[in-house]
Structure 1
Amino acid sequence: MPRYLPPLNAVRAFEAAGRHESFSGAAEELNVTHAAISRHVRGLEKQLGVQLFRKIARGVELTENGKAYLVKVTPALDQVSDASEVLRNQQTGTLSISCEPTFAMKWLMPRLGEFQEISPEVDVSLVASSELADIKNHECDLGIRYYNQVPVGISCDLISTSPVFPYGIPTFSEVVDPEDLLQYRLLHEDKGQSWASWFSKAGHSNFQMPQKPTPLSSLLAIEGALAGQGVVLASAELVAKDVENGRLKRLSNVSLDYGRYYLVFLNEVVRRKPVASFRQWIINSTTEFRDS
């Protein structure tokens, strides 16, 4: 006897809308329009002959029929997804990551071998880029980005909350008074705003850059500090290896909250084994850089 199966796209739309109890949330997850979700749900209701959602002041909610259907549909879709991923991962263990360049060079690359040791079957493709990771069009599986404020509409895991501190080579004197830093060149990736904010936090609100600002990339600023050319404001994860190896040291305990690193992804890709493995590894490996 043939199975009665409604259109899969309609079932996916219903299931996502049911989990979120929101057509907008489902549209965002499935990367379609609100109208498309509504159309699929109305078509499914017509085919089944029952109402699955009712309108309320804040949007929609599941009816009793909708709740009963969701309880059955969600694990069924999970099983289809799991079975498909098993076959997919037999053919491909690839993982593509678009990573902010400084994090890629200073944190990820020195440790990527650790991930490869525990997941040797995963073939990692890493692209260092400051451009917004276009994960919605599947140009990459994961993105690692530094945000002052997370863009609306993306899913992410917090990697680091580390504030920035001034770092210099070990022969530089530790700071007693913040003005002690002015004996060194102040390296920066902007026009001096970050140093002005740091000095203000340290109690020197009338600070003026002692030299003409010449913005560098964050990576070049750190490399300049390593070469003894001056002092750089950097977060702990970016200089962790250099501090551990005695190439840099923190010169002051005055910190500045500047931004945070995030792992960016689509909800639909995190079920892939290579993605899930890397996600778990990087979260475990960056615990020390997140405050409680």
Structure 2
Amino acid sequence: MLPPLKTLPIFEAVARLNSFSLAALELNVSQSAISHQIRLLENHLGESLFHRQGRRLELTKEGKYYLDSISHSLAQIEDATNRMKGQQKTQIRLAVYSSFAVYWLIPRLPDLKHLYPHLELCIEMSHSTPELSDRTADFFITVDTEKRGFKFEPFYVEELFAVCSVPFYDMIKSKLGVTTDHELSEALKESPDLLAQFPLITSYSIYDRHIEDWKRWFANMNLPLPEQIQFHRFSHLMLAYEAAKHSLGIALVNDYMMNEKNDETPLIKLPCRAYRTNVRFNLAYKESRRNEDAISQLNQWLTQEARTLPKHGAH
């Protein structure tokens, strides 16, 4: 038996906004009306859909399952209605890692706007892997590789590069007694552990612990992590990038962060081997939504732009 249909968009709004009051504002009804409709739906289903703890509101396990199950149907109804009215759905939410959004995606958004002027992109920035769900976003750049009902397309394979600011680069050459980039390259090729003489910047977010990024970088050179290194510790890759930009030391950053539009990056790659993490990023969206205009347009554009990302062979 179908539930009271009026309750479904109200449930979706409350779950998406995580708030009865915000859902009431969005739908232009009273908060008591929202509460009443949610009670009707819960009574019909015989399940509690939300945990209510004071002002905090979150979906129950049953609520998450139900939202995942009905979200696409609601989106299809909305899309079919808009098409019947001659309106094209142009809004789409893209969930993407924060560093990828700031350093790679945002500099390219003017090109997207020029190509698809009616596409309204909302970026949902995440510090960790976003949950693949309609309540999170419509389209994802993710390291996840599979989930039932989702289509995954290869996008990018990650490498970490040792980088620093231009003034810090010049200081390295001076301290090592070299004058040219070629001389520095030869010195680091012969002795990569020369970098241990300088402050190194480590970020927690890559391996969920500090120093592990540099430990693996040195291991990739068949070297143990040198002792007595001065480390500057940061929680996130974006902070490490900014610290390097301000000449605090040498950081390991994703190569896509060095792939800014028009070479505007203020950092320089040191002439030494990169470390391939083998983390693979994918484009992901629901298979059943692949023919939606907004999904198709964003997928086509991202696939095209992916050609500007570094292509890596095996080390």
- 1:151 Cα offset (Å): 5.0
Gaps of 5+ in 1: 1-30, 33-81
Which of 156, 161, 164 lines up with 2:160 in the alignment? 164
* Residue identity matched to 2:100: F
Q: 1:105 to 1:246 in 2, by over 3 A?
A: closer
Q: 1:267 to 1:213 in 2, by over 3 A?
A: same
Structure 2 CA distance for aligned equivalents of residues 159 and 252 of structure 1 = 26
Aligned to 1:150: 145
What SS does structure 2 have at the residue aligned with 1:111?
A: helix
Provide TM-score, normalisation by structure 2: 0.59
Write out aligned runs for 1:25-174 (5 A).
86-87=83-84, 90-145=87-142, 147=143, 150-151=145-146, 153=148, 154-171=150-167, 172=169, 173=173, 174=184
Which of 274, 278, 289 lines up with 2:294 in the alignment? 274
Structure 2 CA distance for aligned equivalents of residues 118 and 243 of structure 1 = 18
What SS does structure 1 have at the residue aligned with 2:203?
A: coil
Structure 1 CA distance for aligned equivalents of residues 164 and 261 of structure 2 = 10
- 1:93 Cα offset (Å): 0.8
Structure 2 CA distance for aligned equivalents of residues 248 and 193 of structure 1 = 22
* Residue identity matched to 2:283: L
Aligned to 1:265: 285
What SS does structure 2 have at the residue aligned with 1:284?
A: helix
Aligned to 1:181: 195
Structure 2 CA distance for aligned equivalents of residues 254 and 136 of structure 1 = 38
- 1:187 Cα offset (Å): 1.2
Aligned to 1:207: 226
- 1:235 Cα offset (Å): 2.2
- 1:199 Cα offset (Å): 0.7
Give the length in aligned residue pairs.
213
* Residue identity matched to 2:250: V
Structure 1 CA distance for aligned equivalents of residues 288 and 271 of structure 2 = 43
Aligned to 1:222: 241
- 1:280 Cα offset (Å): 0.9
* Residue identity matched to 2:304: N
Deviates more, 1:262-271 or 1:277-286: 262-271
Query: Does residue 251 of structure 2 align to residue 232 of structure 1?
Result: yes
* Residue identity matched to 1:185: P
Give the conservation status (yes or no) of the 8 Å contact 1:165–1:252: no
Give the conservation status (yes or no) of the 8 Å contact 1:196–1:209: no
Structure 2 CA distance for aligned equivalents of residues 205 and 232 of structure 1 = 18
Q: 1:101 to 1:209 in 2, by over 3 A?
A: farther
Structure 2 CA distance for aligned equivalents of residues 251 and 118 of structure 1 = 36
* Residue identity matched to 2:131: D
- 1:182 Cα offset (Å): 1.9
Q: 1:104 to 1:264 in 2, by over 3 A?
A: same
Deviates more, 1:124-133 or 1:113-122: 124-133
TM-align CA RMSD: 3.0
Give the conservation status (yes or no) of the 8 Å contact 2:158–2:255: yes
What do residues 89-128 of structure 1 show as CA deviations (whole Å, max 9, x unaligned)?
Answer: 8252101111111101111111111101100011111121
What do residues 187-224 of structure 1 show as CA deviations (whole Å, max 9, x unaligned)?
Answer: 12121111011011123124346135623301111111
Provide TM-score, normalisation by structure 1: 0.64
Query: Does residue 299 of structure 2 align to residue 285 of structure 1?
Result: no
What SS does structure 2 have at the residue aligned with 1:139?
A: coil
What do residues 231-283 of structure 1 show as CA deviations (whole Å, max 9, x unaligned)?
Answer: 11122211222892362111033121112322221111221111111111111
Structure 1 CA distance for aligned equivalents of residues 107 and 307 of structure 2 = 17
